[in-house]
A and B are shown apart, each in its own frame.
Chain A
Amino acid sequence: MLNWFKCQGNNATLLAGNWAKLKSTLMEGEVPHILKQLILFNTSRERGCKYCTEAHGIFANSMSQMIRTNEYFKVTENLDSPLIPESYRSAIRIVTKAALYPEQITDEDFQKLYDAGFDEQEVQELMAQADLANMLNTIAHLSGIKIDSEFLEAHE
């Protein structure tokens, strides 16, 4: 069991609440899962939350390993390439900003998301990743959890 869960283990109520938030925001909905993981990865990396960056990076990478090749490609290192579809780029950029600097979000940012093809429902789902990211990063920071050994092994 990951450290992120273990550190909440002594309070079942809080754990239940946080798990519900995690599940409904991350695991359900119309936006592709990989995009959400990429958002969480990017946010965590910019914030400097080592634990989350590692975890989400590996989640994103390990999912991309479902395509059977032998090479280990780090999707997360190529986020700014214009070859990546605009949907991903704009979502990752703007939602990361929303997580880290919510007061700086303007109508223009929302418009950019609409221009990228997202509808209102999808935008709402994307923005929910922002506050999820904040929750995940904060818990990680506050509880001072160390990176799980499973994650460290994944690097080798």
Chain B
Amino acid sequence: MIIILEKAVQKLDIFLVDDQKITNFINKKLVSVSGIGKKVNDFINPLQALEELETRKPQLILLDLNMPEINGWTFLEKMEKYKTDAKVIIVTSSTSGLDLEKAKKYKRVIHYLVKPLSIHSIEELIKAYKASKTNKSQAPNYRT
């Protein structure tokens, strides 16, 4: 797999937010194999991820929906209280059409991926991130 990357993408600071450590391990490996991301921080507690938003300043967050402390939607809402430009990609095991529709309502959410992630998913992820950086005025356009 050879992916042509732009330098910006290589320098991304990424948060992985999922209550399962194994999932974070897998996603972290996928990300590093894809060659993107300068610094990848994984969190099993979303509240802690929020606290470190301003200090670590990630540009991209991979966010799970079903977490015990607060769920993905609450995380998204709380994010607005912090100074951050981070974009969010939802990574969930939910195949529910309702969740997909709800995700479209959040401007920060640039993509919606279903677990388990694969190398292909990472490609999509990158495309989405690039698109979001160039077409800021457009509404996110993602498919499952």
Direct contact between A and B in the complex (CB less than 8 angstroms)? no
